[in-house]
Structure 1
Amino acid sequence: MSTTPAPLPDRSGPGAGAPSAGPVRERGDACPGALRLHAADDGALARIRLPGGLLTVRQAGALARIAEESGDGHLDLTSRGNVQLRGLADGCGGTVAGQLRRHGLLPSDRHDRIRNVAASPLCGVDGWTPDSGPVPGAAPADVQGWARELDELLCSDDAGTDLTELSGRFLFGLDDGRGDIVALRPDVTLIASGAGQAGVCFGTTGPGLRVAAADAPRAAVLAAAEFLAAREACGSTAWRVRELAPGQRPSIARLADRLAAAGISCTPLPGLRPPLGEPPAPGPVTGPGGVCALSVTAPLGRLTVAQWRLALRVAGEKGDRTLRVTPWRGLVVPGLPAQEAPGLLAELAGAGFVTDADSAWHRAGACAGRPGCAKSLADVRADAAACLADGQAAGAAALPVYWSGCERRCGHPGGGPWVDVLATGDGYRVAVQDGRRDTAPRTVTTAGLAGAVAAARTTT
């Protein structure tokens, strides 16, 4: 049965939420990009958008070189399936941008920060077909193809509207029907419904519109334009659809008019209820025809250049020469011979990747914390690693957990429930976020943190 995700509190920044006229902000969106770098305590930070999380081995190699030569030797994977480079030296922005352009990672300077596109990372890999949804049993569309086409449209000056006004936080979600991307609560959602069709909606609930799969990327662009029109009409500075009050949110009826004007046929889906699915678990992913993929995650979302290059070598020598960065701070390496998958997975595990859903490190994340972030009240990565190293709260059923150094909770999970571990200056506040309220909040010192986190992760 399809379910609708419960609304979660948005703690993305000051003024976030859904007041009647949208949030009132004293400054514009400062979300970093490949050109607009963020000045952190450990150096400049660049966020490289990877629509659909798609990378060739050549592009991945370029990111490794930039991290090694200009950064701190690490690559951070984000909750949007993007990559961040930290510790960049002063004055290297032009050099970094030039390297990204040469490898197709910065196709448009003007549109860099709006290229936030998350896509189902296992689409076309595991032979999955939906057994529920608008068209039961139908094969999902190629959402990776959607991601490439949507990126081209976003970067085009001929898209029919100036989408550069979108916030760097606005998210397009392309779901192949399994509901994994729906769980991220995108602003504009495309969900494959089989038979060459797709549903498009604002957020993750109906009403929606059914369009031909071939028209889905164009429909997503026009939906973003309708959001900008709705925001302008009510005088809001909202960054996300859910920040607008219900009566001010973009209209499906007006979107239908936009689609018709663009020559896109659509039919109403008044009761659209997209399925709510799970992210790919770490481990081997069996596909048709003796071809396999490996799904792994980065410990606390961070990889060394050596770890990154190992995954790159596996993809280049044994796979189809591509990598997919997932919105769950992981990698999918597709196109591997099934008989070699166990040995390759063991090699990645030996290098420190999370390769087992029963690991305590599975679904565990943390913000940058000290010393990289001036606002952080603790070295949350070190404290998180100490908690996870003893293996408490291991198991696939354990709740996701996220350590935050301050109230901004940068990068926290987009769905629920999850365990919120918030630095207070004297220790941590541990609570389960269930979508409506904090459950069982508890304030502990660092010495008692591992036990408190383990207990919270096993909360039912």
Structure 2
Amino acid sequence: MSVTRTRVDRCPGVLRPWPAGDGLLVRVRLIGGRIRSSQLAALVAFAEEYGDGRVRLTGRANLQVRGLPGADGRLAPAVLGALAATGLLPSTSHDLVRNVMVSPQTGLAGGRADLRPVADELDRLLCASERLAALPGKFLFVLDDGRGDLVDHSCDLGLVALDGEGAQLRVGARWGEVVDLTAAPAALLTLADEFLDRRGSGPDAAWHVEELTADLRRAAPADPRLPEVSGPLPFGRVPGGTHVAVPDSGLDRAAVERLTSGAGELVVTPWRGVLVPGGER
């Protein structure tokens, strides 16, 4: 469908902060919500020194810090350097386009396949392509490991695991071909490259696959092995760990210390929670 834009894409990142009333707001993108405990601790320390002291969660399983100093829509150089030192800015050229949502429990419990290697390869190939840095900041990849928690989540491109070896691609609101999981990252980025060919330019350029004037690919029938929708991950004890709800006000140092105590890696979830593998929190 054709669209008429009244504004340019201003989805925030680290190098393109959002000017809020209390200072600049940055969004830190996480692949599948995964973050090392040491990185989260470093980020809240950064927020205390330069921002409002809190780390907030987004509905795309990313993190935000607000109240940061800067000028002309950019972080002050010392602030940007301190944020980069957390290890949470692996690519400056692709900061805005590393939008990859994954079933949070994948590789921890349940599901039909561990999609962490698939997500990591997708991110690696995405960042290796100079051209794909031009994807819109709102363009989203969604990977469901076959448990059905993200099968109904809107996406631009994605996949749903059918078993331990294969998955059916998602192309906007339609189904694509069935591919081997090892080939899935390259297949998704081929589609993303075609989207760039087709999206147009100027204020009417598409931000999403569903905004194209014609289908990106001919739709395929839904594979009968696709899972039913399972719904959001509940809070509390779940297979693989504990899903901790985070208030809109975010995480302060004390909350981060509770989450990171004894945990090597955490998973930020699309339901504004943090999955802590293992024991209670």
| Same-fold call, TM cutoff 0.5 | yes
Q: Which residue of 2 aligns with 1:137?
A: none
Write out per-residue CA displacement over residues 65-118 of structure 1, whole angstroms, 9 at most, x where no aligned residue. Answer: 111111101111001100000111235542333234334311111110000110
Q: Is the 8 A contact 1:231 1:249 kept in 2?
A: no
The amino acid that maps onto 2:256 is W
- Counterpart of 1:155 (choices 118, 127, 136) is 127
Which residue pairs with 1:276 in the alignment?
229
SS of the counterpart of 2:190?
A: helix
Aligned equivalent of 1:251: 217
CA distance in 1, matches of 2:99, 2:79: 20
Shift of 1:227: 1.6
Contact residue 191 and residue 199 of structure 1 kept, 8 A: yes
CA deviation map 1:187-243 (0-9, x unaligned): 10111111411111212432x11111111111121121122222239x941111222
Matched with 1:311 is: 259
For residue 163 of structure 2, what is the aligned residue in structure 1? 194
Whole-Å separation in 2 of the counterparts to 1:183 and 1:296: 23
> Is the contact between residue 163 and residue 224 of structure 1 (CA under 8 Å) also seen in structure 2?
yes
Distance 1:185 1:271 in 2: 16
Could you give the per-residue CA deviations for residues 407-442 of structure 1, whole angstroms, max 9, x where no partner exists? xxxxxxxxxxxxxxxxxxxxxxxxxxxxxxxxxxxx
Other structure's SS at 2:251 match: strand
Partner of 1:7: none
Structure 1 residue 224 corresponds to structure 2 residue 192? yes
Residue in structure 1 matched with residue 25 of structure 2 by the alignment? 45
Matches within 5 A, 1:280-299: 280-287=233-240, 293-299=241-247
SS at match of 1:183: coil
How far, CA to CA, are the matches of 2:182 and 2:79 in structure 1? Answer: 35
* Residue of structure 1 equivalent to 2:91: 108
- Whether the aligned pair in 2 keeps the contact of 1:64 and 1:309 (CA below 8 Å) is no
| Deviation larger for 56-65 or 109-118 | 56-65
Q: Does 1:326 align with 2:269?
A: yes
User: Structure 1 110/252 Cα, relative in aligned 2: closer, same or farther at 3 Å?
Assistant: farther
Which of 131, 135, 141 aligns to 1:172? It is 141
Q: Is 1:95 matched with 2:78? A: yes
Cα drift, residue 252 of structure 1? 4.3
RMSD: 2.3
1:277 Cα deviation after fit: 2.6
Query: What's 1:446 paired with?
Result: none
Corresponding residue of 1:428:
none
Q: Give the C-alpha shift of residue 185 in structure 1.
A: 0.7
Q: How many residues align?
A: 276
Contact 2:266–2:275 under 8 Å retained in 1: yes
1:441 match: none
1:4-403 aligned at under 5 Å gives the runs: 20-21=1-2, 23-90=3-70, 92-126=75-109, 128-129=110-111, 140-156=112-128, 159=129, 162-206=131-175, 208-232=176-200, 236-245=204-213, 248-252=214-218, 269-272=220-223, 274=226, 275-287=228-240, 293-300=241-248, 302-313=250-261, 317=262, 319=263, 321-334=264-277, 336=278, 341=279, 344-345=280-281
Q: CA deviation at 1:322?
A: 0.3
Shift of 1:272: 4.2
Distance change (3 Å), C-alpha of 1:183 and 1:308: farther
**Corresponding letter in the other structure for 1:200:** L
Q: Which amino acid aligns with 2:231?
A: E
1-structure distance, mates of 2:52, 2:139: 28
5+ residue gaps, structure 1, are: 1-19, 130-139, 254-268, 288-292, 346-460
Show CA shifts across 1:38-81 (max 9, x none).
Answer: 11001110000111111111211221111111110111100110
In structure 2, the CA distance between the partners of 1:252 and 1:101, relative to structure 1 (3 Å rule), is farther
Cα pair distance change 1:102/1:73, threshold 3 Å: closer
CA distance in 2, matches of 1:209, 1:141: 18
2:276, 2:97 → 1: CA distance? 26
Q: Tell me, what secondary structure is at the counterpart of 1:209? A: strand
Aligned to 1:422: none
Identical aligned residues as a percent: 41
CA distance in 1: counterparts of 2:179 and 2:204, whole angstroms: 29
Determine helix, strand or coil for the equivalent of 2:106.
coil
Indicate how the Cα distance of structure 1 residues 277 and 88 shifts in structure 2: closer, same or farther if over 3 A, else same.
same
Q: Contact 2:140–2:156 at 8 Å: present in 1 too? A: yes
Q: Which has the higher contact order (CA 8 A, sep 6+)?
A: 2
Q: Which runs of 5+ in 2 are unaligned?
A: none
Q: Aligned letter for 2:247?
A: P
Larger Rg: 1
What amino acid does structure 1 have at the position aligned with 2:99? Answer: N
